[in-house]
């Protein structure tokens, strides 16, 4: 199902040109126009789904099932020294196109164009805190 005003649905429909990396019945992969690092690729489901929250399990399954092959292809051709997978959900988390996508970002070393910033807060949480938090999440998932 194609959505009006969705850039990625327009790419799927061929209305907007793209540099295709892979395609099958369920999935389309193409070079991200921003090329944060060389070979930066987006993998999207052919079914429009806004983001991870709205994604049915079968769409997630088919989508992620293709990622190892695509990542390995990029690795074989450009010989990156690492690879990051990234999925942004909602604007505060940097989602700018509201059609689910996985970024495949090959890494070439410091200053290659991609960086992420992790602040470790291990000292702020006891093991009891972690158990309690895990229970809250688990109970919600299971309810
Ligand atoms: P987000 O910020 O939602 O995680 O990622 C959206 C990505 O889509 C961005 O990295 C952006 O460069 C890419 N993008 C947006 N419009 C186009 C387009 O028309 N063609 C291609 N190939 N990539 C696009
Ligand atoms: Zn779409």
Domains and CATH numbers, the chain: 7-142 (3.30.428.10)
Q: What is the Cα–Cα distance from 74 to 95, expressed in whole angstroms?
A: 23
Annotated catalytic residue 121? no
Residues with CB under 6 A from ligand 1: 7, 16, 18, 30-34, 88, 94-97
**Cα–Cα separations (whole angstroms), residue 38 to 31, 41, 68, 98, 111:** 9, 9, 18, 24, 12
**Cα–Cα separations (whole angstroms), residue 20 to 42, 85, 104, 117, 141:** 10, 18, 14, 30, 37
Question: Is the pTM higher than 0.95?
Answer: yes
- Reading the chain (143 residues) residue by residue, the pLDDT tens digits are 578 899 999 999 999 999 999 999 999 999 999 999 999 999 999 999 999 999 999 999 999 999 999 999 999 999 999 999 999 999 999 999 999 999 999 999 999 999 999 999 999 999 999 999 999 999 999 99
Could you tell me if residue 66 is left (phi over 0), alpha (psi between -120 and 50 degrees) or otherwise beta?
alpha
């Amino acid at each position: 199902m194609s959505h009006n005003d969705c850039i990625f649905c327009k790419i799927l429909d061929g209305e907007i040109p793209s540099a295709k990396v892979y395609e099958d019945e369920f999935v389309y992969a193409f070079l991200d126009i921003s090329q944060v690092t060389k070979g930066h690729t987006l993998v999207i489901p052919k079914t429009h789904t806004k983001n991870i929250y709205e994604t049915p399990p079968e769409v997630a399954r088919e989508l992620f099932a293709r990622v190892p092959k695509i990542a390995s292809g990029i690795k074989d051709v450009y010989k990156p020294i690492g690879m990051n997978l990234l999925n942004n959900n909602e604007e505060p988390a940097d989602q700018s196109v509201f059609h689910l996508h996985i970024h495949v970002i090959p890494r070439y070393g410091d200053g290659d164009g991609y960086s992420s910033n992790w602040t470790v807060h291990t000292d702020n949480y006891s093991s009891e805190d972690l158990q309690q938090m895990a229970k809250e999440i688990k109970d919600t998932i299971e309810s």
